[in-house]
Amino acid sequence: MSAPFDPNRNLANVSLRHVGKPLVRTDAPGKATGRTPYAGDYVMPGMLHAKVLRSPMPSARLVRLDVSKARALEGVALVLTARDLPDRLAPTDIPGQTGQTRLKTDQQILVRERVRYHGEPLALIAAESVDVAEKAMSLIDYDLEPWPGVFDPESAMRPGAPVVQGTDNIVARHAIGKGDIDAGFAAADMVVERTYRTQFIEHAFLEPEVGLAWVDENDVVNIRVSTQVIEHFRFIADAIGVPHNKVRIMGALVGGGFGGKEDITVEIYLALLAKHTGRPVRLEFTREDSFVGHGKRHPFILTYKTGVKRNGKITALDVRLVSDAGAYVFLSPYVLLYGAIAAPGPYLIENLKVDAVSVATNNMYTSAFRGFGSAQACVAYEQQMDEVAQAIGIDRLDLRRRNYLKTGEPTATGYRVPSAVWTERCADIAWQALGEKTPAKGAIRIGRGLAAYQQSYGRLTFLHDTSEAWVGVEVDGTVIVRSGVTDIGAGQASALAQIAIEVLGVNMENVVVYNSDSAVTPLAGTTTATRALYMTGNAARVAAEAVRGRLVARAAKAFGVPVDDVVLADNKVSALDRPDKAMSFADLVRLCATEGIQRSELAMFRAPFTDRLDPATGQGQAFADFTYGAHAIEVAVDTETGEVTVLKSVACHDVGQCINPAAVEGQIEGGAAQGQGYALSEEMIYREGRLMTPSLSEYLIPTAMDVPVVKSIILESRSGVGPFGAKGIGEPALTPVAPAIANAVADAIGRRIHDLPITPEKVVRALHGID
């Protein structure tokens, strides 16, 4: 154990008035009192209700589709099939403002002939009521002829397999090669090879997909929708064949995203129905629709071969990754790349080889999910660390300590991380915080596990990411922030408020944030990739500082002091050591206004722009920066029934700088719960492509009765590339949880279950070999 870390040590010389405090979030009162409208709360006069008819078969040919009875039903306004639409495709590539050339990954909007997954849409219905729309759906006649399908990526790679995408089902490949892998293995005292598997999982956000669309007097298609990405307006416009400036997306506070609202969901259907009927149209997915209506987390097969010296130094690592892309490409190539880059974890591996491939199948398509490939990698690399430690007979934490990547050292892609790397400190603190071990009793055994991680925040830098925010002050001294950023529940908008008031010296009740409108708020990019605070937070800070600069200059003139002596705080302007010089913030703004001094600023923040990684070696810069931390777990395992109870769940993350510690805790606690589901109970089961877990009674997310009190330990290195030295925590909070639980279970029962989820039945099989 290293010396206990004193978290207060880093507070020296930092004086922040608002940032870093658990202020009441701007979105909290409305949510707590029920006044906040979500996208599903919006209605319009004369509105129609939509439904989507979906294929019950995963691989088929549509030989007949007869919608005449549905069209004839009283109250049905419109039924659309592929035959009614021009042959346009729906883009499925990475969304946002980057202008990179699109991968050839587009998807049919409605099935023309070939069905590739269970749930693929066949027809759209708009009717006067939901009941009529459902009735109409039952009146649509169709014949589907079964078509040979392929349901796992290893079979789909074999020659002669049914082709789902492209010519050979290979959706993407990535390779990383570093050092001399053969020499590395030659130098090893022992080689440990294991294969780990992860499952399909579902985001299970509280609020299923919902939206309302209407065409306005300027022929603009307006869509109010629950989304992480308002900048899909371009893809939507392309898909329905209108110019980009004729689609406007308005978000609302989102009832959870986790990556599941990163792709287009209801928008294109709504746009088409609203355009064709000329009436407002509302579409709300039921939970069952939602389960078949958006992509899942990629199952990965991860094979790790580690060469290690007896002293614990890892000399070589050879990793093979296979991911199931499902029936359409969506974000699979990017998820795979994240997985490849994350493959060695937070360790310095000099001799590294990663081969990664993503393969199309007739399973549900897979796409973004919190952790985005890095989470799957962590499931493997942290279990592998425990396996290696056991194989060479050294302590699990010691093995990690011998190999942690340290500040200034190069990652898998040879990039030197610009921020502090506090993995060891986080891991030691989390481990210590587990406290005294719970005693075992009878059939109940106790186990402990830890997982450390490295997780990027911010997009791949070759995507050339930008974000805009506008900050302005009113003549009464109040502040307005405008930015397109979507708020998916983590307090993205509130963070901008806290940043702006920090810079401008006003209080939280004096600021309002307008966000999430593609037409009237400056485009900020997506709320994905743990990028919102990093990108938009920086943009807001830059904008606020520009405004502050002008205000302070004017105040300095009025006070006759140097600009550096002007202090903005508590809605007041004063001068250092000059009690006679003071005015209200509002008076200063009014003074600027009367003189025509600009009181607002639109700022763009640009992430580092890089080239793509070297295609042969995978070397180069992939991300701006990374977050580091660890999660520690104690479990009780009932060795007779196989039940696993999580007793203690402790997280320690270096978030760089908290903007709002209460919001950071929220992310950590949510990540702990979601990661627990990933480890123990959640699985979307597809049998021959058919979903066997169509609702929340089969798909088991942990409940309040399953999750223990989560302990969140937040460290602040103030070294990140976000505002005030912040790093990102959205995805990192989830990433280490599942492997920490897997390691704890293995520790408890002395056997490892290599495929998630670790169900009671798998535990029993591992221990007793039933049948």
Question: Per the structure block, which two tokens stand in for 697?
Answer: 């009674």
Q: Is 704 in the site for other proteins (CB under 8 A)?
A: yes
The CB-of-270 to other proteins minimum distance in angstroms stands at 21
β partners of residue 78: 126
Strands (E), 495-624: 511-515, 566-569, 572-575, 578-584, 600-606
d(CA 96, CA 92) in angstroms, rounded, equals: 12
Is 20 or 40 the residue whose CB approaches other proteins more closely?
Answer: 40
Q: Is 771 in the site for other proteins (CB under 8 A)?
A: yes
Is 63 or 443 the residue whose CB approaches other proteins more closely?
Answer: 443
Q: Is 2 in the site for other proteins (CB under 8 A)?
A: no
* 50, amino acid identity: A
Is 507 or 645 the residue whose CB approaches other proteins more closely?
Answer: 645
In this chain, which of 643, 647, 661, 662 binds other proteins, going by CB under 8 A?
643
DSSP codes joined into one string, 124-157: EEEESSHHHHHHHHHT-EEEEEE-----SHHHHH
Cβ–Cβ contacts within 10 Å for residue 442, how many? 8
Is 611 or 771 the residue whose CB approaches other proteins more closely?
Answer: 771
d(CA 621, CA 416) in angstroms, rounded, equals: 8
Classify strands 625-638 and 572-575 as parallel, antiparallel or unpaired.
unpaired
Non-local CB neighbours of 249 within 8 Å, separated by 6+ positions? 223, 225, 227, 230, 231, 232, 233, 236, 267, 517, 518
The CB-of-467 to other proteins minimum distance in angstroms stands at 39
Of the candidates 313, 314, 331, the residue with the CA atom closest to the CA atom of residue 323: 331
The CB-of-363 to other proteins minimum distance in angstroms stands at 16
Of the candidates 727, 98, 92, 99, the residue with the CA atom closest to the CA atom of residue 458: 727
Burial of residue 86, with CB atoms counted within 10 A of its CB: 0-12 exposed, 13-18 middle, 19 or more buried: exposed
Is 637 or 726 the residue whose CB approaches other proteins more closely?
Answer: 637
Quick check: 276 and 80 in contact, CB under 8 A? yes
d(CA 632, CA 374) in angstroms, rounded, equals: 18
d(CA 161, CA 169) in angstroms, rounded, equals: 9
Applying CB under 8 A, the span of 9-17, 318-326, 550-558, 636-644 interacting with other proteins comes to 636-644
Q: Is 56 in the site for other proteins (CB under 8 A)?
A: no
DSSP codes joined into one string, 370-420: TTTTHHHHHHHHHHHHHHHHHHHT--HHHHHHHHB--TT-B-TTSPBPSS-
Q: Is 709 in the site for other proteins (CB under 8 A)?
A: no
Is 580 or 771 the residue whose CB approaches other proteins more closely?
Answer: 771
* Start-to-end Cα distance in the chain: 44
Of the candidates 767, 710, 707, the residue with the CA atom closest to the CA atom of residue 444: 767
In this chain, which of 640, 658, 726, 743 binds other proteins, going by CB under 8 A?
640
Quick check: 253 and 109 in contact, CB under 8 A? no
The CB-of-753 to other proteins minimum distance in angstroms stands at 14
Q: Is 723 in the site for other proteins (CB under 8 A)?
A: no
Q: Is 363 in the site for other proteins (CB under 8 A)?
A: no
Q: Is 24 in the site for other proteins (CB under 8 A)?
A: no
Is 251 or 677 the residue whose CB approaches other proteins more closely?
Answer: 677
Q: Is 582 in the site for other proteins (CB under 8 A)?
A: no
> Taking the alpha carbons of 672, 642, 196, 203 in that order, is the dihedral positive or negative?
negative
Applying CB under 8 A, the span of 73-81, 485-493, 581-589, 694-702 interacting with other proteins comes to 694-702
Q: Is 693 in the site for other proteins (CB under 8 A)?
A: yes
Q: Is 736 in the site for other proteins (CB under 8 A)?
A: no
The CB-of-640 to other proteins minimum distance in angstroms stands at 4
x-or-dash pattern for other proteins, window 587-626, by CB under 8 A? ----------------------------------------
The CB-of-705 to other proteins minimum distance in angstroms stands at 3
Q: Is 206 in the site for other proteins (CB under 8 A)?
A: no
Our CA angle for 153, 155, 156, nearest 5°, is 60
Is 192 or 744 the residue whose CB approaches other proteins more closely?
Answer: 744
The CB-of-771 to other proteins minimum distance in angstroms stands at 5
Q: Is 761 in the site for other proteins (CB under 8 A)?
A: yes
Is 199 or 461 the residue whose CB approaches other proteins more closely?
Answer: 199
The CB-of-525 to other proteins minimum distance in angstroms stands at 37
Quick check: 253 and 34 in contact, CB under 8 A? no
Classify strands 107-108 and 210-215 as parallel, antiparallel or unpaired.
unpaired
Ranges within 131-150 binding other proteins (CB under 8 A): 131, 134-135
d(CA 443, CA 417) in angstroms, rounded, equals: 46
The CB-of-685 to other proteins minimum distance in angstroms stands at 6
The CB-of-758 to other proteins minimum distance in angstroms stands at 11
Is 679 or 729 the residue whose CB approaches other proteins more closely?
Answer: 679
β partners of residue 631: 451, 651
**How many helices and strands in the chain, by DSSP H and E?**
18, 30
In this chain, which of 702, 722, 728, 739 binds other proteins, going by CB under 8 A?
702
Q: Is 641 in the site for other proteins (CB under 8 A)?
A: yes
Of the candidates 435, 463, 460, 417, the residue with the CA atom closest to the CA atom of residue 654: 417
Is 461 or 681 the residue whose CB approaches other proteins more closely?
Answer: 681
Cβ–Cβ contacts within 10 Å for residue 30, how many? 13
Non-local CB neighbours of 8 within 8 Å, separated by 6+ positions? none
Is 593 or 767 the residue whose CB approaches other proteins more closely?
Answer: 767
Residue written as token pair 């991860």? 302
Q: Is 698 in the site for other proteins (CB under 8 A)?
A: yes
Ranges within 423-462 binding other proteins (CB under 8 A): 443
d(CA 256, CA 693) in angstroms, rounded, equals: 21
3-state secondary structure of 735: coil
The CB-of-690 to other proteins minimum distance in angstroms stands at 12
The CB-of-767 to other proteins minimum distance in angstroms stands at 10
In this chain, which of 74, 577, 697, 709 binds other proteins, going by CB under 8 A?
697
> Residue count at the site for other proteins (CB under 8 A)?
31
The CB-of-751 to other proteins minimum distance in angstroms stands at 16
Question: Per the structure block, which two tokens stand in for 665?
Answer: 């805790």
x-or-dash pattern for other proteins, window 91-130, by CB under 8 A? ---------------------------------------x
Q: What are phi and psi of 621, to 5 degrees?
A: -95, 130
In this chain, which of 102, 104, 751, 768 binds other proteins, going by CB under 8 A?
768
Quick check: 316 and 307 in contact, CB under 8 A? yes
x-or-dash pattern for other proteins, window 659-688, by CB under 8 A? ---------------------xx---x---
Ranges within 387-406 binding other proteins (CB under 8 A): none
d(CA 359, CA 366) in angstroms, rounded, equals: 11
Q: Is 700 in the site for other proteins (CB under 8 A)?
A: yes
In this chain, which of 143, 476, 703, 751 binds other proteins, going by CB under 8 A?
703
Quick check: 726 and 537 in contact, CB under 8 A? yes
The CB-of-649 to other proteins minimum distance in angstroms stands at 14
In this chain, which of 423, 528, 717, 759 binds other proteins, going by CB under 8 A?
759
Write out the residues near other proteins by the rule CB under 8 A: 130-131, 134-135, 443, 640-643, 645, 680-681, 685, 692-693, 697-698, 700, 702-706, 759-761, 764-765, 768, 770-771
